[in-house]
Amino acid sequence: MRENLTRWFYQAMGFQNGLARTQRIESISKATKLNKTEPKEESKPADQMDISTDVKYISWLKEHPSALSSFEEMMDEAKGKWVVVFLDYDGTLSPIVNDPERAFMSDMMRSAVGDVAKLYPTAIISGRSRQKVYGFVKLDDVFYAGSHGMDIMGPAIQANCYDGKYQSKALDQKGNELTVFQPAHDFLPSIEKMLNVLEETTSEINGALVEDNRFCISVHYRHVLQEDLGLLEKKVQALVAKYPDFHLTRGKKVIEIRPSIKWNKGDALVYLLETLGFTNSSDVLPIYIGDDKTDEDAFKVLKCRGQGYPIIVSSNPRDTLASYSLRDPSEVLSFLMRLARWGEVSAV
């Protein structure tokens, strides 16, 4: 397993010469295997919270403590384990904004994610298309899973993992070999047809926006008038009724059309852990940070495995399976910076 992991780092980090490669692997090994030593509008800013909200939030925090306040204690548990980091995109690495095309992440966030990815295997798992997330993040040493995990560009697979089904080889920007896994591939023709219909039928509803997420479709209603919401919903429902292999899910002011396969962000997390060489491994510590309902699938996996840290991004009390919380992307940034710093210090 260690060999696989080392081989993965060797390839994924794109080292150019033997010396740099050896030094790099040593420092990553040390760091990973620790030595024993436009604001999010769903959440009110702290200064606008009323007292009752505040009291509820404080009591919720007791059950889902801040990952910043609990950082030392969390990292004590991580000693001697292999840390792997999973990040959602919208609402986690970038704030929720009105225009989905402009959900940019800050340079500081990019740099923090980049620093983390130098130390620990890191993947971004998003509802967006993989290409679009890459376009926002623009980091090469990170794995990307788009379409809620239905389009994964992950480690090159050594063994006959997942029977080779729905898998193809790919190269990253640096020419490293990776494996693309697309378990919803057979649904593409239907998705294309649905997209065409939706673009036409929703065009008469002001503010409705259809986003092609490749293996799923988002219908945004953030800018739709209250009185038009019912009509939009009806149109989406009517279309999906004609495609029994699809179903609807909900996100933040968005209806999502997804193929009905048993595959979600939680399955993507397991797939990535396995392809990284951590099948049934007890000394891995996955950290998953996300803000949306779809991230709960990944939280559930970590809870069931009794492994790692599911962290929810929310400044409101919410039903969640997460063990820890961060208020907003700015706290995510602080957490990632601390994680990178902790890994660097541990490597010395």
Ligand X SMILES: O=P(O)(O)OC[C@H]1O[C@H](O[C@H]2O[C@H](CO)[C@@H](O)[C@H](O)[C@H]2O)[C@H](O)[C@@H](O)[C@@H]1O
Which residues of the chain form contacts with ligand X (CB under 6 A)?
A: 88-91, 96-98, 100, 103, 126-128, 211, 213, 218, 220, 222, 251-254, 256, 292, 294
Distance from chain centroid for Cα 41 = 20
How distant, in Å, are the alpha carbons of 145, 323, 344 from that of 267?
11, 19, 30
Which residue's CB is nearer to ligand X, number 96 or number 205? 96
Distance from chain centroid for Cα 81 = 21
Instruction: Name the β-bridge partners of 125.
Output: 145
Least separation in angstroms between residue 222's CB and ligand X is 5
Which residue's CB is nearer to ligand X, number 1 or number 229? 229
Which residue's CB is nearer to ligand X, number 38 or number 77? 38
Rounded Cα distance, 332 and 336, in Å: 6
Least separation in angstroms between residue 89's CB and ligand X is 3
Least separation in angstroms between residue 98's CB and ligand X is 6
Q: The tokens of 198 are what?
A: 């939706």
Distance from chain centroid for Cα 116 = 14
Least separation in angstroms between residue 33's CB and ligand X is 30
Least separation in angstroms between residue 115's CB and ligand X is 21
Least separation in angstroms between residue 9's CB and ligand X is 26
Residue 19's CB: how many other CB atoms inside 10 A?
9
| Cα Rg of the chain (Å, integer) | 20
Q: Which residue's CB atom is positioned nearest to ligand X?
A: 127
Which residue's CB is nearer to ligand X, number 86 or number 89? 89
Which residue's CB is nearer to ligand X, number 24 or number 318? 318
Q: Do 117 and 141 form a contact (C-beta atoms < 8 A)?
A: yes
Which residue's CB is nearer to ligand X, number 86 or number 278? 86
Rounded Cα distance, 317 and 64, in Å: 9
